[in-house]
Structure 1
Amino acid sequence: MLSVNVTTADAVFDGVRVRIFDDDRPSVGATPGETKLRPAVIFFHGGGFMMMNLDAYHGHTAHIARNFQVMLISVEYRLAPKHRFPAAIDDCTAATVWFLEHAHDFNVDPTRVAVMGDSAGGNLAAAVAQRLTFDPKYKSLPKVKLQILIYPMLQAFDFQTPSYQQNGDYTSVIMNRKYTVMAADNYMNGNSSLDSKMSKNLHTSADAKTSPLAQKCLSHDLIPDEFKQTGYEAPSTNLGDESIYNEIKEVLLDPDFAPLMREDLRGLPEAYILTAEYDVLRDDGIMYAKRLEMAGVPVAWKHYRRGFHGMFGALFDSPTEKLGQIDFAEYLKEHL
């Protein structure tokens, strides 16, 4: 990796605070004295929609800008529970749209812009990519080139996937079922009133679990058998609470909240999806990768058998993290 300086500047894009990371390299392919348009990454941080900010992620986002040779825009979206859905996705959309409209002002090629996020930020990156692809009011914008989803949280309908069953009850890891349920509930409701129901899949109804939409979008058949060899049992479809489901289904099924619940994924940008073996969110990423492939969307799915939630955050000096960084650098250089 090159050793370069990264400069930062705080700004506001359409009412949303952002931090811009740039470096001191000449643009790749530029001749002396020439300014060549560059690629850029718009980054949405993790934290379960409730935690973290630009400062907490400063080291990580500076690392991406420095080592992966991109301009990076880190977005400070509003957090739950004070600001419930759709505040976060609205902020991320607004900042992305503004940047795409003004990319030339930053010497950025608007056709070489990626959206990226980890965990809850992966949810927001997928949702932004969907909005900009399918909402007619954005059809005049340059199309986002890549969606980069790092162990994304993509649904709150099923907390009994194989990865939740295998990894959900650990208390000594960064992410477990208790935390993801709390995060989804706070983002959806602004409180944790349904946590106990959601953790047992009692927040949906029997009819909802067997509906064509659930079977298409969240079928465990999408998950390869190799991920079901240990500690997995097909969850019951007979349990649930119709009254709770009727209260929350409008949000629960909204692709802006749960990108996995969008029925038709055709036409979305190329995707890079990282999943980790010891992560409750592993199967969200796997199901999305498989469904994107089925929809004809190019997908690079990178799975790390010794991986864990947070492995990509430049916080751990592990062989798995280093491999993930190398794989990502190679992909980004070729595709963005």
Structure 2
Amino acid sequence: MTQHVRSARIDDFTTDTTIALAVLDEYGQRGQAPTDPRHRRLDPAIGALIRPGPDNISVTTILTPGSPNPLVLRIYRPMGVPRLLPGLVYFHGGGCVLGGLDSHDAFLRALAAYTRHLVVSVDYRLAPEHEFPAAIDDACAATEYVFQHAGILDIDRSRFVVAGDGSGAGLAAVVAQLAETAIAAVPTHQVLINPQTRWLPATASRMLFAGGPYLTAALLDWCMTCYLPDLNDRHNLRAAPGLAGSFDGLAPATVITADLDPLRDEGEHYAHALAVAGVDVGLYRLRGAFHLLWLATAINPLVQRKVIGFIARRLGTGTDDHEALAPGFDFSAAGGRLSAF
């Protein structure tokens, strides 16, 4: 297919990053591992950056049957829309150690409201209590369950998205790679926000931002030790989708990265690899943004609106009022269609 790279204005969120990091400093939190286990699901410092999401959303919780462990799924349905909706299964970030249903609640309310998707948030098992492959096993099981019960959930299976951020985006990428061959579900799109697609070796951005802001090499290593204590597992393709040898035939992808994020390069390399394999990829970089800025609606809600607007446009369920962002990379080798917004 013909390569298409769109040039456009690049927004700069450096000021917002500075303000958000100052808030984290007030809580004494700049990317270190939590000392209080109660903060693993939603650190108060991160919570201080987030405003509540829209309330025009119906939120329900279901428990899937299964052995050895049932899964808790939180379902977000926008009100005042047709019953049959596109579906989006979401895996939160946190290195497969941190985060949970509540950490991403406000964002997923907004995502459901503005994309007109039925969003399913997955409460997958976390390390160190549950090491690899617990998280990806749960991600696959949840995706299969939602896809197979689409009729009951009023989901249109012809428009079925897997999505996530950070390590959760890595889970979504693995699910997309396993579709049809290892799991009974067929995603039609994948949304990867600040995706963690490998654990080793370190990329240039991991080395450049090893000391932060916020997400540090020490925190990434701590998560890796918790989730992947077996050294051999750190190169397993079910833990590191960026190491896959082939990306042919995967679902179209939307990849969003942050300028000041250690995970930036592996996300953009993954977008490039997909495009070379012929996958339709949309790439969007938030300039001047650190890893969590898109969640920080208490600082500047425009950042999240841009992210959701780009996703909505890629999913064909909305338009973005803002000019697209262009990373300015050379994708001349891409055999697929990679739009760099």
Pairwise same-fold verdict (TM > 0.5): yes
In structure 1, what is the equivalent of residue 71 of structure 2?
A: 16
Provide Cα deviations, 1:85-119, integer angstroms capped at 9, x if missing partner: 00011011101101101101121111211011011
| Secondary structure, aligned partner of 2:61 | strand
Give the structure 2 partner of residue 121 of structure 1: 168
2:243 maps to what in 1?
A: 261
**Percentage of identical aligned residues:** 30
1:185 aligns to 2:225 (yes or no): yes
Aligned equivalents of 1:320 and 1:306: distance in 2? 11
Deviation string, structure 1 residues 135-181 (Cα, Å, up to 9, x no partner): 2xx3xx4520111100011111112x2211221123xx331111111
Find the counterpart in structure 2 of residue 323 from structure 1: 306
Change in 2 beyond 3 A, CA 1:321/1:102: closer
Judged with a 3 Å threshold, the aligned counterparts in structure 2 of structure 1 residues 314 and 40 are, in CA distance, closer, same or farther, namely: farther
Q: Give the SS at the match of 1:306.
A: coil
**Which has the greater radius of gyration?**
1
The structure with the greater share of residues assigned to helix is: 1
Gaps of 5+ in 2: 1-53, 319-341
Q: Per the alignment, do residues 59 and 248 of structure 1 end up closer, same or farther by CA in structure 2, a change over 3 Å counting? A: same
Contact 1:4 1:23 in 2 (8 A): no
Q: How many residues get paired?
A: 261
1:286 aligns with 2:268: yes
Report runs of 4+ in structure 1 exceeding 6 Å deviation. none
SS in 2 for 1:255: coil
Q: Give 1:320 deviation, angstroms.
A: 4.1
In the alignment, does 2:196 pair up with 1:153? yes
Paired position in structure 1 for 2:204: 162
What SS class does the counterpart of residue 308 from structure 1 fall into? coil
Please tell me whether residue 308 in structure 1 is matched to residue 290 in structure 2.
yes
Task: Give the partner amino acid of 1:149.
Answer: L
Higher RCO (Cα < 8 Å, 6 or more apart)? 2
Q: Kindly indicate whether the alpha-carbon contact (under 8 Å) linking 1:306 and 1:320 is maintained by their aligned counterparts in 2.
A: no
Query: Is the Cα contact below 8 Å between 1:103 and 1:110 reproduced in 2?
Result: yes
For 2:271, the aligned partner's letter is: A
Q: Is the 8 A contact 1:123 1:259 kept in 2?
A: yes
User: What pairs up with 1:160-309 in 2 under 5 angstroms?
Assistant: 161-170=203-212, 173-189=213-229, 248-249=231-232, 251-309=233-291
C-alpha distance in 1 between matches for 2:214 and 2:146? 32
**2:131 is matched with which residue: 84, 89, 92?**
84
Q: Deviations over 1:194-222 (max 9, x none)?
A: xxxxxxxxxxxxxxxxxxxxxxxxxxxxx
Whether the aligned pair in 2 keeps the contact of 1:312 and 1:325 (CA below 8 Å) is no
Matches of residues 34-183 of structure 1 in structure 2 within 5 Å? 35=83, 37-135=84-182, 138=183, 141-159=184-202, 161-170=203-212, 173-183=213-223
In structure 1, stretches of 5+ residues that fail to align are: 28-34, 190-246
Q: Is the 8 A contact 1:175 1:280 kept in 2?
A: yes
Q: How much does 1:41 deviate? A: 0.7
CA RMSD across the alignment? 2.0
TM-score using structure 1 length: 0.73
Separation (CA, whole Å) in 2 of partners of 1:263 and 1:318: 38
Residue 169 of structure 1 aligns to which amino acid in structure 2?
G
Deviation, structure 1 residue 334: 5.0
Q: Which amino acid aligns with 2:205?
A: S
Question: Could you tell me which amino acid in structure 1 is paired with residue 128 of structure 2?
Answer: P
